[in-house]
Structure 1
Amino acid sequence: MDTLDRKIIAALSHNARQSTTAIAAQCDVARTTVHERITRMEARGVIAGYSVVLRDPDEGGKVQVIVMLEVQQQETTRIIKRLEAYPEVKLCLSINGEFDLLLSAEAPRIEDLDVLVDELARIPGVQRTNTSVVFGRKIDRA
């Protein structure tokens, strides 16, 4: 894949229904070039398919936080197992740096997340937390 392929994929990721003419204008190339590139990427399996992503109707009023956890290394597996019990925790990533785990959590009210963060801090082996409230999603390719 080259730069043009990546630009085409980015355009399709943003809106897979846009025309090859629109993508060509964004990439400053001929429509036939875009069409050929898409066909080639589909044939090679780079583009495996297209789908519709529906908005979760319950998602509209949720508040999201990002919680960073510093944990005792020997307790990591047990802590992750404990995190699975919280339905508010939607994502748990193992990361490097001063924190060990990054969590994304959602709830209908900020007060619910306040309680959650307090509970997370009390899990044995969690040394400290750092929480940020998400104001908005600027890019979301999920």
Structure 2
Amino acid sequence: MDDLDHGIIAELRRDGRASISELAERLKVSRATVRTRLDRLKSVGEIAGFIVLTRSDISVAPVRGLMMIGIEGRGGDRITARLTGMPAVMAVHSTNGKWDMIVELSTESLAELDDVIRRIRNMDGVMTSETNLILSTRRASSLRQG
């Protein structure tokens, strides 16, 4: 990937609905160049897909948190399987450092979040955890714009 590829991805992160013409204008290249680059980025897997977030995606379960989990022994696959089956679990990330995984949680209330955290902490193999509430989210583009 070169600077133009990175620029295309950055522009799409700012505005995923930008047309090829708009991208070409912003990046000061031809539409054909943008189209060719986009096709290549998708075909090699650099762009894995596009998503749409609706109001209901955000407001159905407004209480969100990140739970860092330390696992005993080799129970990671088993715990991951159990976590991904829980409706409140939006994603499970493996990581390095102090924590073995980070779990994104989303519930309708603090009481429900507390119950989910308690159930996860009681899973065999979960040795330690720390949970932080997500208070607000700013996209990278909004941070760069000022």
TM range (shorter): 0.7 to 0.9
Post-superposition Cα deviations, 1:60-91, rounded to whole Å, max 9, x if no partner, equal 15211000000112222222232233210111
User: Quick one: which amino acid aligns to residue 37 of structure 2?
Assistant: M
Percent of aligned pairs with the same amino acid: 23
The match for 2:138 is 138
**Structure showing greater Rg:** 1
TM-score with structure 1 setting the length: 0.77
Is 1:57 paired with 2:53? Answer: no
For residues 13 and 133 of structure 1, what CA distance do their matches in structure 2 show? 24
User: Quick one: which amino acid aligns to residue 41 of structure 1?
Assistant: R
Given that 2:23 and 2:34 are in contact with CA atoms closer than 8 Å, whether structure 1 keeps it comes out as no
How big is the shift at 1:102? 0.8
The correspondence of residues 41-120 of structure 1 with structure 2, limited to 5 A, is 41-43=37-39, 45-47=40-42, 53-55=52-54, 57=56, 59-61=58-60, 62-120=62-120
Pick which of 84-93 and 102-111 moved more: 84-93
RMSD: 2.9
User: Quick one: which amino acid aligns to residue 114 of structure 1?
Assistant: D
Is 1:122 paired with 2:122? Answer: yes
How big is the shift at 1:99? 0.8
Gaps of 5+ in 2: 142-146
Is 1:40 paired with 2:33? Answer: no
The aligned length equals: 136
Aligned residue for 2:128, secondary structure, equals strand
Question: Measured at CA, do residues 69 and 52 of structure 1 come closer, stay the same or move farther in structure 2, by a change above 3 Å?
Answer: closer
Instruction: List structure 1 runs of 4+ shifted beyond 6 angstroms.
Output: none
Is 1:10 paired with 2:10? Answer: yes
For residues 52 and 96 of structure 1, what CA distance do their matches in structure 2 show? 27
Question: Measured at CA, do residues 140 and 91 of structure 1 come closer, stay the same or move farther in structure 2, by a change above 3 Å?
Answer: farther
Given that 1:23 and 1:34 are in contact with CA atoms closer than 8 Å, whether structure 2 keeps it comes out as no
For residues 52 and 130 of structure 1, what CA distance do their matches in structure 2 show? 29
How big is the shift at 1:23? 4.1
